[in-house]
Amino acid sequence: MANLSKILLRAVSSGDRTEPDVSAAPGRLPLGKPVAVIDIGSNSVRLVVYEGIARSPTPIFNEKVLCGLGREVSTKGKLNPDAVASAIGALKRFRALCDVIEVGDVKVIATAAVREAKDGPNFIRDAEKICRAPVDVLSGKREARLAALGVIASIHEPDGVAGDLGGGSLELVEVRGSDIGIGQTLPFGGLVLADLASGSLKKAGKLVSAALEQEPILKALAGRTFYAVGGTWRAFARLHMRQTGYPLHVMHGYSLSAKDASEFAELVQRVDPETLDHIESVAKPRRELLPYGALVLNEVLRVGKPKRVVISALGVREGLLYELLDEPARALDPLLSAAGALNVLRSRSPRHGQELIAWTDAFMATTGIEETAEERRLRHAACLLADIGWRAHPEYRGEQSLNIISHAAFVGIDHPGRAFLALAVFYRHAGIGDDEPSPHVRELATTRILDRARVLGAAMRVAYLVSASMPGVLPKSPLKVEKGKLVLRLEGKMASLDGERLFNRVRQLGKLIGREPAIRS
């Protein structure tokens, strides 16, 4: 992120005024021209334009059309004519949008429906003319690998099996850290199942059950995590969120126990989807596929016996971008990369955020407070995000920061981790007093998370008062526990920064960790 800190807002002088050059788009990272992925799936055709190729890529435009290309491929062998017309129309619009956005590189991929249809080559020829780019028709194993890479790119240290359910197929592949097993593809996409089973869930259930019973990949799933990828399973999870009153409407990283997922899957199969609460949150064309998606998920859980299900909002498209990165870029932490980008784009001093990491490292090392590797990682991310709300009104900086962080498009973090980041930065602004954060975010926090967030927030309140958010101060003003006391050292030129307000903040932090405060100059 060092090069990002060189971003400058160009200005033009007009009399005694200085105005920003709005053409410079200072809210974007200098990653070159945007890159687009057009994904021609069996159910949907989607365009996602990303800010650039990065460890944590950010979409700047996202649109899908539910065409249903694979609706009749399994029984008639050809793409549905109406679906083809819809898809061609979508591709024309998507190519025009890429031109408007000035995309530098357009990647076009196609999956099961186009791969299996007799007239798939004709469709590909037409699609390539419209998109002015080659269409990469993914094999089943390649699709499974890209889905696994999408999970690896977005889940911190994954361990389990990734399953990507589309309209035409189900891809299964084992993931462990950055290692990928051999992928398998099965013809169990929602559209194909409905077609093969003539609309009978009972018949579809027999087909899926017989095949998955023999699937060796699922034998490796017991007691681990099943990472669910694909629009139908995201719709399933969205309904579960709404029905259970889950406090955070962020799909990526949403976690269900295997038992809860199975019980909800049985409900979705048993009743008419239109009778489900909050069904309006699911697009109408996808509702008819929900029971089939629930059926497949339930069979995966029955055969594989995982401990939990985690939703990954990233899959094949993001796996494709991840594959384009060099090895050093792949090794970067996606959460810290995203937090670092926000630090550059929105903080008063990006360097100060980096110095805050080292300053809190030294503080934590002397407190005797136990900190896991994951808690340390989250603390570092919080330091990078600590000043992103400074432009808000002082009374609302904590609340605004909390909302931005809890709802940000972060990956590499679970929902309790989001709660920690949001709460720590909230407390950094609002203080550890009467102002209480959103109860919805607090619901996600354990007692330990809440305690650590309060300690870090109080420490950051000391840091920002002594440094005025400027770089170069914290390295000369260490905060450590020395001989049983919490000591802030202000030596040399730093001594003049001492004051009653600063001492009160050191004292407040001291109370949280059970230490007497002192400022020494």
107 touches 35 (CB < 8 A): yes
If asked whether residues 393 and 314 sit together in one domain, one would say no
Residues 212 and 104 in one domain: no
- Measured CA to CA, the distance from residue 109 to residue 411 in angstroms comes to 23
Same domain, 307 and 343: no
Alpha carbons 289 and 165: distance in angstroms, whole number: 11
What pLDDT is recorded for position 437? 80
Burial of 204 (0-12, 13-18, 19+ CB in 10 A): buried
Q: Return the closest-CA partner of residue 187 out of 268, 285, 273, 75.
A: 75
- pLDDT recorded at residue 489: 96
Q: d(Cα 28, Cα 385) in Å, to the nearest integer? A: 17
117-126 — which CB contacts under 8 Å span 24+ positions? 117/69, 117/70, 117/73, 117/77, 117/78, 117/79, 118/77, 118/78, 119/78, 119/79, 120/79, 123/69, 123/79, 123/84, 123/87, 126/88
Kindly state the DSSP code that residue 119 receives in the 8-state scheme.
Answer: T
Which of 90, 109, 137 is the endpoint of a domain? 137
Distances (CA, A) of 270 to 53, 201, 245, 314, 327: 43, 10, 21, 29, 47
**Segments forming the whole domain that contains residue 307:** 141-319
Report yes or no on 17 lying in a domain.
no
- Residues 223, 358 within the same domain: no
d(CA 382, CA 422): 8
DSSP secondary structure string for all residues of 319-373: HHHHHHS-HHHHTS-HHHHHHHHHHHHH-S-HHHHHHHHHHHHHHHHHH-----H
- With contact defined as beta carbons under 8 Å apart, do 441 and 248 qualify? yes
Between CA 496 and CA 492 the distance in angstroms is: 8
Cα separation of 473 and 358, whole Å?
Answer: 12
Concatenated DSSP letters for 251-271? Answer: -TT-EEEHHHHHHHHHHHHHS
Say which CATH number the domain at 186 has.
3.30.420.150
By residue count, the chain amounts to 521
Task: Return the pLDDT at 2.
Answer: 44
Question: Are both 297 and 341 inside the same structural domain?
Answer: no
CATH at residue 445 = 1.10.3210.10
Q: Given this model, what pLDDT does residue 13 score?
A: 33
Q: Degrees (nearest 5) of the Cα angle 126, 131, 133?
A: 100
Determine, yes or no, domain membership for 30. Answer: no
Q: Which of 287, 319, 351 delimits the end of a domain? A: 319
CA distance 185 to 296: 13
127 and 149 together in one domain: no
Q: What CATH number corresponds to the domain at position 85?
A: 3.30.420.40
290 and 148, same domain (yes or no)? yes
Same domain, 111 and 164: no
| 22 within a domain of the structure (yes/no) | no
Q: Is 196 within a domain?
A: yes
Does the residue 381 lie in any domain? yes
Residues 171 and 39 placed together within one structural domain of the fold: no
pLDDT reported for residue 281: 80
Phi and psi at 309, nearest 5°, equal -115, 130
The per-residue pLDDT for 347 is 95
Whether residue 7 lies inside any domain: the answer is no
The token duo for 343 is 């630090």
Cα–Cα distance for residue pair 18/325, rounded to 1 Å? 39
Residue 347 and residue 232 share a domain: no
State how many domains the chain has: 3
pTM of the model: 0.91
Q: Decide which of 258, 290, 319 is a domain's last residue.
A: 319
Q: Say whether both 115 and 175 belong to one domain.
A: no
221 domain residue, yes or no:
yes
Residues 507 and 410 reside in one and the same domain: yes
In this structure, is residue 11 part of a structural domain? Answer: no
Mean pLDDT by 10 residues, the chain (521 residues): 40 39 66 95 96 94 95 91 96 98 97 94 97 96 96 96 95 96 92 90 94 94 97 94 92 97 95 84 84 96 98 96 95 96 94 97 96 97 97 93 94 96 96 79 92 97 96 96 95 92 96 94 83
In contact, 113 and 135? CB cutoff 8 Å: no
Give the model's pLDDT for residue 485. Answer: 96
